[in-house]
Chains A and B, each alone.
Chain A
């Protein structure tokens, strides 16, 4: 009966307007949070097997320099000079393969295979954080572990698979793909299975264990070549300006992938922040719409509410129907927003899978929605309380 009395003047259109606006705002916010968390690992340049304070450098060769007999190799002198710098902890040389390699990548049940000329490089094992058991080579049980540039995976997924109608593969699946190498040189022609143990953003090459490289260069080639084309340097702090100056002065290039991905990561953060801000603004506006709607409602029902108070109803009792109304609406909006977010996620996740992203937990995004909704609801309930309390004296 109380409800029948107090529901007069409730404007369905105002409430629907509020609900829709709040739904849009809240969905934008939690979807942005969820999307950011899902996408973030793509840009994250944390790599498990190469630490952050390692730099990979090459000599910058201009065409003019090349014509004048310049070389892109690092001499022993160059290396000694780098080693003598205060910011340098240790220098590792890239060793390249001095023999011919053919790689065959099986493509599952289709029976098709990709065959390609290949090359290997190796760096000292100290620079690579992979379990020793995975990163070894034993000529008695030959299997070659490799770390591949992540670009190769992208090249396959977005170039090859997309146009040839082949399935896309994630990083996790990559390790299970049959891979074999044929090495030739010194009159030998031998095949060995290979295994991808990881992907790297920062090493734009194919890395094999040093052990294997020494063994293979001896067996198929003329031994290691001493002057490397690339160096890997462990530094005290990668952001040091002295390093940058030194590299510029000597015309050395630092592998730039890390920089790019941090820029992309930065822009992702900026864009997501803007989107979240827009969502929050919409939510705030909708909050005020509901607030106005409630004020108007209480205003129109002032006399009824005062009459009920005179009968001995407490302010809490007469506010309860309105509070329940707000709670129900807000709860429904929250549930709907989460459902919409999950639906949108179902739609975009397959695209992210191609980047080898498994997706983050949805709980933090739901928690964000819950907190926002709790704040909005608290604001609404407080407004109702204050408004009804103000009706006490007539």
Chain B
């Protein structure tokens, strides 16, 4: 997948408003593979909705979204599964980890589907993010910040054309923000993938990026 296009899109909840001051909604926006985008938003401007539309689990918007020219409303369930396994790596804001499984099991649940990373690589990431001792802890026992790091590792365990991160560092300190940013950029560069990160305040510290305000 090379390009994601948004053509005059608007969440249905915003319908009826005269003019939404946004560089995303009601615009023609093209998101290219290989580029890094930072979508800056205030709370309640439809940031998570945008992610949900792009990941196919919500369709309550007007306008058109396209993957490589194809209207994503026409994608079948099987095609969406392919998108989620091969083309777009997604970190939801609420992370959606399974609290009863260990950190490693959560990551494996994804990696088993994609066979993208070795156990060694995954453990190296745990090490880099400072949580090697949490590998076999149930996620329910981890702090929010630790859970966020586990979720990021899980997100990166798949081939991707775009890495879609919804507030990836909202619970991380500067040092960990830096590490996550490096990890994500390294992974994106390796695959030539684009990065789309949203943020309400704590920005992911990408080196080069295009800012779009919602």
Contact = CB atoms under 8 A, between A and B. Distances in A.
B115 interface: no
Interface of B: 52, 55, 57-59, 77-78, 81, 84-85, 90, 92, 96, 98, 100-101, 105, 108-110, 112-114, 158
Interface stretch (A49-57, A128-136, A207-215, A308-316): A308-316
A304 interface: yes
Given A310-B57, A311-B84, A314-B78, A8 B113 contact: no
Given A1-B105, A393-B58, A393-B59, A314 B110 contact: no
Contact of B113 (A4, A306, A307, A313): A313
B77 A314 contact: yes
A13 interface: no
Contacts of A2: 109
Given A314-B81, A394-B52, A5 B98 contact: yes
Secondary structure class of chain B's binding surface, majority of residues: helix
Nearest to B86: A312
A394 B114 CA distance: 23
A1 B114 CA distance: 15
A348 interface: no
A304 to B, nearest CB: 7
A366 B57 CA distance: 45
A145 B155 CA distance: 92
A267 interface: no
Contacts of A393: 57-59
B14 to A, nearest CB: 19
Binding site secondary structure of chain A: helix
A160 interface: no
A306 B57 CA distance: 9
Contacts of B55: 310
Q: How large is the interface on A (under 10, 10 to 19, 20 to 34, 35 or more residues)?
A: 20 to 34
B34 to A, nearest CB: 22
A311 B80 CA distance: 11
Contact of A394 (B57, B100, B101, B108): B57
A246 interface: no
A393 B57 CA distance: 5
Nearest to A389: B77
Given A312-B110, A392-B57, A393-B57, A1 B85 contact: no
Contacts of B114: 312
Interface in A257-314: 304, 306-314
Ordered nearest first, which 7 A-B pairs have the shortest CB separation?
A312-B84, A312-B85, A307-B96, A314-B81, A394-B57, A311-B110, A312-B113
Contacts of A311: 84, 109-110, 113
Nearest to B110: A311
Contacts of A394: 52, 57-58
B113 to A, nearest CB: 6
A301 B121 CA distance: 31
Contacts of A308: 109
Nearest to B84: A312
Interface in A301-337: 304, 306-315
